[in-house]
């Protein structure tokens, strides 16, 4: 384990605000306007986004994708916010921002952006479906956290491609889960990496803390239920997509602690993975960046 290497990497990527494809102040303002209890109007939210014509065009392309299944096209940010909701608009802006980080970076050959976004979106959808049965959890916020939960993987692949490859070799050699291979390689796992960067974007704790702890939810000092939901969604989506080995007992234990029915949770994951709109959302995000 090379802890110094891991620490140096964290220092290097601690602030990526200026790598976003739009002004960092736009994102900060948008989160203030869309937080719970905000009195900002749809018009004010539109005024935050609309001056950035490139972002507006990309946002509308995603909003009009088959993922949302709108009966008629939306042609303005305010109309999109009215139809989809302000937190959904925020999520689209975030997705475009995250993908925009990859611009100018050569990702390792084994990092598949389509597979990455498919997993992110399926986990987000599954977490939101589960959260609807839990009164204490904001379903829209957990969707956003789900969409961001593996951001750290992408950042490692972008900014430390040799380490990404080495972690992959270690994972295969020892048959380890990805996050355990990361920890063994340099003492840092991708949840910590992603949360560090999200904090630098001034995102609220209810979004970045579940990301931080999604592989160790029982250790989460706050937002533990949200961290459990992300962990569970990650596991059952991996099961449904057959992308990584999953311990069924871990799924059952998390379902029990959240008082969720295991069969229903697995059905939610299958529903999310089978959503035909996923490919359309991903296609628009990749094309828009």
Q: DSSP letters along 104-118, please?
A: T----TT--HHHHHH
Please, what sign has the CA dihedral across residues 49, 87, 144, 136?
positive
Model confidence at 1, in pLDDT bands (50, 70, 90)? confident
Q: Rounded mean pLDDT of the chain? A: 93
Task: Kindly list the distances between the CA atom of residue 128 and the CA atoms of 19, 56, 158, 255, 287, in Å, as whole numbers in the listed order.
Answer: 29, 26, 28, 15, 25
Instruction: Report whether 139 contacts 130 (CB < 8 A).
Output: no
**pLDDT of 35 strictly over 90:** no
| Rounded mean pLDDT, 27-48 | 92
Q: Give domain limits for the chain.
A: 3-288
- What are the pLDDT digits (tens) for 60-113? 999 998 888 898 999 999 999 999 999 999 999 999 999 999 988 889 999 999
Instruction: Report whether 277 contacts 67 (CB < 8 A).
Output: yes
Model confidence at 125, in pLDDT bands (50, 70, 90)? very high
Task: Kindly list the distances between the CA atom of residue 188 and the CA atoms of 39, 164, 181, 183, 253, in Å, as whole numbers in the listed order.
Answer: 39, 12, 9, 5, 25
Which pTM does this prediction carry?
0.93
DSSP 8-state class, residue 244: S
pLDDT at 289: 58
- What are the pLDDT digits (tens) for 194-222? 999 999 998 999 999 999 999 999 999 99
C-alpha 59/C-alpha 174 separation (Å) is 42
C-alpha 196/C-alpha 209 separation (Å) is 9
pLDDT at 98: 94
| Rounded mean pLDDT, 2-25 | 89
Report the share of the chain in percent with pLDDT over 70: 99
Choose the CATH number for 3-288 among 3.40.50.10860, 1.10.1060.10, 1.10.3210.10, 1.10.3720.10: 1.10.3210.10
The tally of CA atoms less than 13 A away on the side-chain side of residue 284 is: 20
Among 208, 271, 258, smallest CA distance to 228 is for: 258
């Amino acid at each position: 384990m090379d802890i110094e290497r891991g620490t140096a990497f964290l220092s290097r990527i601690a602030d990526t605000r200026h790598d976003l494809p739009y002004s960092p102040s736009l994102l900060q303002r948008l989160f203030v306007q869309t937080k719970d209890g905000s009195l900002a109007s749809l018009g004010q939210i539109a005024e935050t986004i609309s001056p950035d014509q490139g972002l507006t065009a990309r946002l509308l392309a995603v909003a009009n994708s088959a993922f949302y299944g709108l009966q008629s096209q939306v042609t303005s940010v305010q109309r999109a916010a009215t139809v989809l909701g302000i937190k959904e608009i925020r999520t689209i802006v975030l997705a475009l921002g995250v993908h925009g980080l990859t611009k100018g970076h050569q990702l390792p050959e084994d990092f598949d952006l389509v597979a990455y976004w498919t997993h992110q979106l399926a986990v987000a959808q599954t977490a939101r479906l589960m959260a609807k049965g839990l009164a204490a959890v904001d379903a829209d916020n957990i969707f956003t956290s789900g969409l961001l939960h593996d951001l750290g993987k992408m950042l490692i692949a972008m900014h430390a491609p040799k380490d990404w490859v080495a972690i992959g070799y270690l994972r295969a050699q020892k048959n380890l889960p990805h996050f355990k291979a990361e920890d063994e390689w340099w003492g840092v796992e991708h949840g910590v990496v992603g949360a560090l960067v999200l904090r630098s974007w001034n995102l609220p704790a209810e979004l970045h803390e579940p990301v931080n702890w999604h592989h160790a939810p029982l250790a989460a000092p706050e937002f533990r239920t949200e961290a459990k939901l992300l962990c569970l969604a990650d596991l059952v989506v991996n099961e449904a997509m057959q992308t990584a080995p999953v311990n069924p007992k871990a799924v059952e234990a998390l379902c029990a602690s959240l008082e969720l029915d295991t069969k229903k949770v697995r059905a939610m994951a299958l529903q999310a993975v089978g959503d035909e709109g996923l490919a359309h959302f991903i296609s628009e995000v990749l094309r828009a960046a």
